[in-house]
Amino acid sequence: MKDIVEDLEALQGYLKKMIIETLNLEEITPEEIDNDAPLFRDGLGLDSIDALELVVAIEKIFRIIIEDEDVGKRAFASINALARFVQEEYSD
């Protein structure tokens, strides 16, 4: 996992696939998710239930704690924001 986290492009791809699989978004491909687009509302259209599922997945996969709603909002702003958050918080 460390190799993926250290490679920004690989991490972005991994996160996109993880989101699709975790939320069962069968109608979308990783290539269709813009790295800068918002994940919630106008962007990918995710909601608060999706956010909870993603928090659980991120915490389990990367062993990172998302402390509160404010941290979550910053982390899940976009794929780029999430990748930066994972890179900053991840330790093997």
- Residue 16: pLDDT band with limits 50, 70, 90: very high
Dihedral over alpha carbons 26, 31, 36, 40 (to 10 degrees): -10
Interval 64-78: pLDDT, tens: 999 998 999 999 999
The helix, strand and coil proportions of the chain, stated in percent and rounded to the nearest 5, come to 60, 0, 35
CA distance 92 to 86: 12
pTM of the model: 0.93
In the chain, where are the structural domains located?
2-89
CATH code that applies to domain 2-89: 1.10.1200.10
